[in-house]
Amino acid sequence: MAEKLNRRLGLPIALLIVCLILPFFLSPLWIRITTEVLMWAALAQSWNIIGGYTGYLSFGHGAFFGLGAYVTGILMVHLGWPFGIGLLASGILAALLALVIGYPTLRLRGAYFAIATWAFGEMIRQIAIILEITGGAFGMQLPSYLNLPFFYYLMLGITALTYLTTHILLERARFGLKLLAIREQEEAAEMVGVDTVSIKMEAFALSAFFPGVIGGINAYWVTYIHPDSVLGAQLTDFMVVMAFLGGIGSLWGPFLGAVLVQLVQRVLWLVWGEGTFYLVIIGGAICAVVLFIPNGLIGLMEARIFSPREALGQWRKAIKW
Amino acid sequence: MILEAIDLTKSFGGVMAINHLSLQVEKGMILGLIGPNGSGKTTFFNLVTGLYRPDGGKVIFHGKEITGLRPHRICGLGIGRTFQVPAPFGKMTVLENVMVGTFVHASTMKAARKLALEILEKVRLDDKADQLVLNVTLEDRKRLELARALATKPSLLLLDEVMSGLTPAEVKASIELIRELRTEELTLIVVEHIMDVILSLCDRIAVLDYGQKIAEDIPDRIVNNPEVIKAYLGERYRA
Amino acid sequence: MELFLQTLIDGLLIGGLIIVVGIGFSLCFGVMHIVDFAVGEWVMVGAYTGFIFVKYFGHDPMTYLPIIFLIFCALGWLIYPLIYRAVSGKRHNPVLMGLVFTFGLSILAKGGALSVWGYHIQSISTWLSGKSLDVVVATVPALRFAGFVFGILVTLFFMLFLYKTKFGVIIRATAQDRDTASLLGVDVRRVGGLVYSLYAGMTGMSGILIGALFSIHAAMGAKYSTLAFFVVVLAGMGYVPGVIIAALVLGLLQSFVGVYIGGRYTLVALFMVMYGVLLITPKGILRRGI
């Protein structure tokens, strides 16, 4: 509940404006990097909706991203549909899939839900490898569209939409409070009139919609997708670590987490060359966060262990004397 | 008759927690529910509120059968309940906790907030409205449980050991509060172990033992009932 | 008919080996309410450790079984306090925190293995590799048979330990009711550490056999986590005796699907069955789970 950060509309709007004009000042490499960071910020937030706010850890969430990628790919390549329709279909189908698997699995308690979603994620990947229409293990090629700014702004748009939706529905509306109630005391919430089954399903579907669309955008952007690239476990791993590091259940936590993790990953790549060592750091980071800062960095700020506002306030006080 | 439980049974594994229990509650009364631990009082509450499904029997509320309905629907129909061990929503403020309850009737956040504040005033918790529940005392948590249940605008309120863990002064304050509540269109079923509370508050008392109702009567006659004395009370309260 | 029997035996043999992984994992949950998401990674690290020993010291990998057991017990003993800390925060959902922590461990282990060995597939072979026995109508690869024997032996020892020793009683008591156990003087934390060490030791050991039977690669963990989850979901979380049956069912399912439908479909079949069980009888087929 970083209400103090939320109420200050100024910061998000400034951030948005900066992002809007950024491409004019950046080299193509950096535009690409920023697009990726935005993508992860949105993915982490999507996970946060079901994992952080509702308290149901979805360990197979990458499946929605992959599904979106393949749906857009299949619709464009095999049916010749336009990209925009493909995106919409991706989002809707991902949400539908979430409803379908959510109905039985959201009944399960914490650990079981995590295992069930993990299994689901792996299953989707296996299915993608087996099916022909997805190109099997070799993946599929989408039509090429080389327009970096297009994808940048598209990604910015969906990310902004994700955050705006989270802000409105989860921080400001009854929906969000109900989710929190479910997370804290599900039985008591039910007793007090909250239709926990419906609300959980809605949250899950919402949390799947955005990754679906983003998966579609990513597919068209990178033009080549295969089971490991869009359905691999690392996708969920990243979403989880970003949300946790930044602060689950908060609006800006995932953003912070995404930026930091991407930063660390790229620095590591620079220093050690593209490799897999960053996974060690990611894994270690998750462990460290759970052990030392379970509320994430946002939690640290709220607990006044580190508060920029307070620091500013104290400094202001000091200079008045 | 606002609530009627007809021949309820419920078993867990081999244990029969509720054994052919029938109970009728008249509108506007305060019914006390007493009995030794394990006699089925909380299970009865769970059956009425829909947390458990009875193995047999029916629950009728306002003339309509509610057996097997999901708890949130039963809540919407007008039954509220507090838990023996308070289960507040930890990472929210006191006000937000109550607001969740108001969502049954309030359709906007603004209306919810307003209603929640009114209820907090009624239970005298309004000064703590913006405190995180984690930082709040047991007595206040019990009040909060009550407030949250009241927020759903129930016509029947089930109170499960609201007084346990409170000091005598706090108990007195709680009794006052409950008396105040009763003057509105609210029927209460109160589970308590503190006999003085039950005797002073309730119009009628039902006694459970091993999942069965062994007596139901006005307080004066209950304390003299030999079955009740044997099962639960002991000789102390005999008039 | 011959094919059927062959498939049947193959399945049972593999199942026998998997029991080891399943038992430790199940007990972990039963005693400490921790779902170790890194279970498959313990197998993987065990396999790689065996590989390292064979590479630098020679000899048959099977000879390293006892050492691996001890090493991994020690590793488990060292890691457990961290897990304990993760699940002991007052404000946070302990089961979920344990989940996420072990999730992090699995990523760490996988990343480490990938960084050292990359995506190359390694293998180790023992004196039993390539040999086979003729049992009535079927031909049984000697190594698979050894794996089965290993599984049965470990299970036997473990069950004896659990049901016939003082420690075993303590562990079972703690699994049933932690609070009462601690009231009776049981150091619940120590018990957890012991259980986790044993689990790590057993699972690491099984890694060697699995490594010899199948291939060793950094991403193999996911497969064995799946198998472990499957076994435990079928058996009921925390219900150890059910693990034996469940592991055998798993072996049979995998074997039959592999032979009669196609190797590519085994994992999907497993997932579907696991899913079905989770939804229909979440407490395991015998409904004895927690």
pLDDT tens, position by position, C246-277: 999 999 998 888 888 888 888 888 888 888 88
pLDDT at B237: 66
Question: What is the sign, positive or negative, of the torsion defined by CA atoms of C65, C70, C76, C79?
Answer: negative
Whole-angstrom distance between the N-terminal and C-terminal Cα of chain C? 40
Q: What is the largest CA-CA distance in chain B?
A: 55
User: Does residue B100 belong to the interface with chain A, where contact is any CB pair within 8 Å?
Assistant: yes
Task: Please answer yes or no on whether A194 and B152 come within 8 Å at the CB atom.
Answer: no
**pLDDT tops 70 at residue A315:** no
Task: Say what the pLDDT of residue C60 is.
Answer: 85
C29 lies within 8 A of chain A by CB: yes
Residues of A within 8 A of C92 (CB-CB) are 294
Rounded CA-CA distance A108/C232 in Å is 15
Collapse the DSSP code of A71 into the 3-class scheme (helix H, G, I; strand E, B; otherwise coil) and give the result.
helix
pLDDT of residue A321: 37
Neighbours of chain A (3+ CB pairs under 8 A): B, C
* 8 A C-beta contact, residue B90 and residue A189: no
Q: Where are the beta strands (DSSP E) in C81-160?
A: 132-135, 138-141
Residue A317: its pLDDT value, please? 63
Residue C111 CA to residue A161 CA, distance in Å, equals 33
Instruction: Choose among A173, A181, A190: nearest Cβ to B89.
Output: A181
pLDDT (mean) for A128-135: 86
**Cα(B162)–Cα(C111) distance, integer angstroms:** 53
Helix/strand/coil (H, E, C) string of chain B? Answer: CCEEEEEEEEEECCEEEEEEEEEEECCCCEEEEECCCCCCHHHHHHHHHCCCCCCEEEEEECCEECCCCCHHHHHHHCEEECCCCCCCCCCCEHHHHHHHHHCCCCCCHHHHHHHHHHHHHHCCCHHHCCCEHHHCCHHHHHHHHHHHHHHCCCCEEEEECCCCCCCHHHHHHHHHHHHHHHCCCCEEEEECCCHHHHHHHCCEEEEEECCEEEEEECHHHHHHCHHHHHHHHCHHHCC
Would residue C290 count as lying in a domain? no
Q: Is A103 exposed, middle or buried (0-12, 13-18, 19+ CB in 10 A)?
A: middle
Residue B136: what residue type?
A: V
Q: What is the pLDDT of residue B155?
A: 92
Q: Which of B70, B83, B109 comes nearest A188 by C-beta?
A: B83
Give phi and psi for C31, each to the nearest 5. Answer: -85, -45
pLDDT tens column, A245-296: 999 889 999 999 999 999 988 888 888 777 788 888 888 988 998 888 888 8
The two three-digit tokens of residue C171, written as one number = 């562990």
Q: How far is CA A218 from CA A68, A256, B67, in A?
A: 9, 21, 50
Contact B29, B203 (CB under 8 A): yes
Q: Which CATH architecture has domain B1-78+155-239?
A: 3-Layer(aba) Sandwich (3.40)
Domain borders along chain A are: 3-320
Task: Confirm whether C59 is domain-assigned.
Answer: yes
At A92, which helix (H) or strand (E)? helix A83-105
In chain B, % of residues over pLDDT 70 = 97
| CB-CB neighbours of C274 under 10 Å | 24
pLDDT at site A1: 46
Query: How far is it, in rounded angstroms, from Cα A146 to Cα A222?
Result: 9
Instruction: Report whether A17 contacts A160 (CB < 8 A).
Output: no
Q: How near does any CA of chain B get to the CA of A46, in Å?
A: 21
Residue B4: strand pairing partners: B24, B60
Domain count, chain C: 1
Nearest to C254 by CA among C237, C236, C234: C234
CATH 3.40.50 fits A3-320, yes or no: no
The CA dihedral of A6, A9, A14, A16, to the nearest 10 degrees, is: 70
Strand, helix or coil for residue A309 = helix
Q: Which residues of B81-104 are buried (b: 16+ CB within 10 A; e: fewer)?
A: bbbbebbbbebbbbbbbbbbbbbb
CB contact under 8 A, A178 and B49: no
Instruction: Give dist(CA B50, CA A160) in Å, integer.
Output: 41
User: What is the dihedral sign for C-alpha C34, C39, C41, C44?
Assistant: positive
Mean pLDDT, residues A52-81 taken together = 94
pTM: 0.88
Position B21: which residue type?
Answer: L
DSSP annotation of A31 reads: H
Rounded Cα distance between B4 and B25, Å, is 6
CA angle A83, A237, A1 (to 5 degrees): 90
What is the end-to-end Cα distance of chain B in Å, rounded?
A: 30
Residues 107-136 of C with CB under 8 A from A: 107-112, 114-115, 118
Residue C282 and residue A112: Cβ atoms within 8 Å?
yes
Gap from A219 CA to chain C (nearest CA, Å): 24
**What integer pLDDT is reported at residue B225 of this predicted model?**
84
Strands B156-160 and B79-81: parallel
> What angle (nearest 5°) sits at the alpha carbon of residue B81, between those of residues B78 and B83?
165
Give the domain range for residue C242.
2-159+189-280
Distance, first Cα to last Cα, chain A? 33
Mean pLDDT computed over A24-36: 91
Which residues of chain C fall below pLDDT 50? none
Q: Among C262, C215, C250, which residue's Cα sits nearest to residue C22?
A: C250
The alpha carbon of residue B149 is apart from the nearest alpha carbon of chain A, in Å, by: 6
Q: Is residue C177 part of a domain?
A: no
- pLDDT computed for residue A7 by the predictor: 56
- C235 exposure class (CB count in 10 Å sphere: 0-12, 13-18, 19+): buried
Eight-class DSSP state of C149 = H
pLDDT of residue C128: 74
Question: Which residue of A192, A201, A248 is the best one to mutate when testing the B interface, meaning the one whose CB has the most B CBs within 10 A?
Answer: A192
- C101 → chain A, closest CA residue: A287
* C-alpha atoms less than 13 angstroms from C-alpha of C35 in its C-beta half-sphere: 27
pLDDT of A4 over the 70 cut = no
Contact criterion met (CB below 8 Å) for C204 and C45: yes
Residues 6 or more apart whose CB falls under 8 angstroms from that of C177 comprise none
- The helix/strand/coil state of C133 is strand
Structure tokens at C210: 């699995």
Q: Which residue has the higher pLDDT, B216 or C285?
A: B216
Give me the count of residues in chain A.
321
Chain A contacts of C237, Cβ < 8 Å? 111-112
Q: Give the Cα separation of A167 and C238 in Å (integer).
A: 40
pLDDT: is A307 or B205 the higher one?
A: B205
Distance CA C1, CA C95 (A): 47
Burial of C45 (0-12, 13-18, 19+ CB in 10 A): buried
Interface residues on A facing C, Cβ-Cβ cutoff 8 A: 55, 57, 59, 104-105, 107-108, 110-112, 114-116, 118-120, 122-123, 126-127, 129-130, 233, 237, 240-241, 244, 275-287, 289-291, 294
pLDDT in tens, B74-132: 999 999 999 988 889 988 899 999 999 999 898 889 999 999 999 999 888 888 888 88
Residue with tokens 């049965």: C152
Say if CB C19 and CB C155 are below 8 A apart.
yes
Residue A61 has pLDDT above 80, yes or no: yes
Which residue is associated with the tokens 């949400």?
A: A95
- CB contact B131 to A (< 8 Å): no
Q: Which of C40, C48, C57 minimizes the C-alpha distance to C215?
A: C48
